Chain A
Amino acid sequence: MILNNLKIFVTVNTASEFLCFLAALIFLYREKSVAWKLFIPFLLLTCCTELAGIYIREFMAVSNYGIYNVYVLFECGFTSYFFFYLYKSYHYKIKWLYIWVAIFMVMYVTDLLYHDFSRFVSTTASVMSVVFVLASLYFYFLKLKDEHFEPLTFSAPFWWVSGTLFFYFGSTACNNFLDYLALYERITFSRSIRYVIFNILDIILYIFWSYAFICRYRQRKSSPLLG
């Protein structure tokens, strides 16, 4: 009975998130850069949110959108900050980060109020995905424009951005038709197509991120100044 209950918590999402968290813990534990080290608490929070989401859904038999509405704040805050950290070396001004966070907050609050706190902030999440896709593309643009050569195959920022691009770009279609899918997919198919797509996206995202952590670890080992 207990084992069966525990099994509910073991999904593709939770497993991939947990493995990525372990990778962060192992490879970024001695990291000196705050931005990179923040991955450990962020991924821990992601795992906890996912487990809490399952618990609320399965054992309390209520909708779990509330916990994801809170999580999206951390997701946006951390991802935006990390993008800013990557752009910083290209003399990117912090005012753009503040402007984006302000826009996001306005959108988030409006979304919550518009739906009377009764559902997931899907519009805000969609806009956030588009912004992160643009941020990833801008990173590629900066890399292409940069005359200085960097071996990208072992570049931690490059693989982090690639994973992020895969995840947010790949989830665009699902995010835009979230309401439609929520309404019809279970009636039409035995399995949720949204669930399958997000499983694939999660696996890609966390594989790329884990590889980025390994690259960062190698980089730190080869140049001790990094940590």
Chain B
Amino acid sequence: MQISSKEVISLIGLTSIIFLIAPLFLILYVLSYNRRKKSHQEETIMLQKNFETELLRTQMEVQEQTLKTVAYDLHDNIGQLLSLTTITLSSINLNDNQNTAEKIALVEDLTLRSIKEVKALSRLLHGEEIVSRGLRAAIEFELEWLKRSDRFKISLQHNNIPFTGDSSVETIIFRLFQEIINNILQHAKATQISITLEGAVDSFKLMIADNGIGFNVDEIINRKAGMGLHNIIKRSTMINGNAAIVSSPEKGTTITITVPYK
């Protein structure tokens, strides 16, 4: 069958029309992809802003926690020491030389202990600096205070964590640690707390376990009372990590936070 020149020319014309329509769709595709890129960029900016707001809130919470510790310490330790100093000084009988010497020695000891406490408080007040010295140092420092109460048997295990991520991530992890410890202090009725810091090839792990009364995780999360747990999960997600909460009544609680390095 021979094709006439009319048909061939019509075919060329038709092909040209198709060749004109194809770029049109291509341009429309590029423009719509570009619009999606714009909304993605806006979303990224919003996420970044949310992260910065949350980071600021976290930093404020760390400071608040520090101030609370300072207030408790002033009241429970330094206040007590100074009261004892005042009582001892007022009970001095200048006629009884031996007794006076003993009491002055006691006052001297109380004063030295007060000075030590004030120095420790001063270090604590530099909360920001604590985190800047590294996450492990900050956690160790926090645990030192906890050990003074003698309420808990505390153990800290760590390998040589190569965690050198940015300070904002470390601040958030430190705040997560503080929040979990606060929960244990307030609700767990635990006697033992064990903390594990573990650095792996691609991620960092913080595990906090207690032998307290435990709770039903699903129930607490679904209730409004689970705001603290929601916060832990939300903040872990913000730093691209995740929080695994394992607990059941009378069987203690283990919270594991895993954060990838990048």
Chain A positions within 8 Å of B, measured between CB atoms, are 137, 140, 143-144, 147, 149-153, 158, 162, 165-166, 169-174, 177, 180-181, 184-185, 187-189, 193, 196-197, 200-201, 204
Contact = CB atoms under 8 A, between A and B. Distances in A.
30 contacts: A140-B26, A140-B30, A143-B30, A144-B33, A149-B38, A149-B41, A152-B31, A162-B23, A165-B26, A166-B20, A166-B23, A166-B24, A169-B23, A170-B23, A172-B16, A173-B12, A173-B15, A173-B16, A173-B19, A177-B8, A181-B9, A181-B12, A184-B8, A184-B9, A189-B6, A189-B9, A193-B9, A193-B13, A200-B20, A204-B20
A175 to B, nearest CB: 10
B79 to A, nearest CB: 58
B13 A180 contact: no
Contacts of B31: 152-153
A147 B33 CA distance: 12
Contacts of B22: 169
A153 B27 CA distance: 11
A147 B5 CA distance: 50
Contacts of B151: none
Given A165-B26, A169-B23, A184-B5, A152 B34 contact: yes
Contacts of B30: 140, 143-144, 152, 158
A149 B31 CA distance: 11
Contacts of A170: 16, 19-20, 23
Interface residues of B, number: 22
Query: Interface SS of chain B: helix, strand, loop or mixed?
Result: helix
Contacts of A137: 26
Contacts, number: 70
B12 A177 contact: yes
Closest 5 CB pairs of A and B: A173-B15, A184-B5, A170-B20, A173-B16, A149-B41
Contacts of B8: 177, 180, 184
B9 to A, nearest CB: 6
A185 B9 CA distance: 7
Interface string B25-49: 0110011011001100100000000
Given A153-B31, A196-B13, 14 more contacts: A144-B33, A149-B37, A162-B23, A165-B23, A166-B23, A166-B24, A169-B20, A170-B19, A170-B23, A173-B19, A180-B12, A184-B8, A197-B16, A201-B20
Nearest to A139: B30
Nearest to B20: A170
B12 A143 contact: no
Nearest to B13: A193
Nearest to B31: A152
Of the listed residues A143, A149, A171, A193, the one surrounded by the most CB atoms of chain B closer than 10 A to its CB is A149
A181 B8 CA distance: 9
Nearest to A150: B34
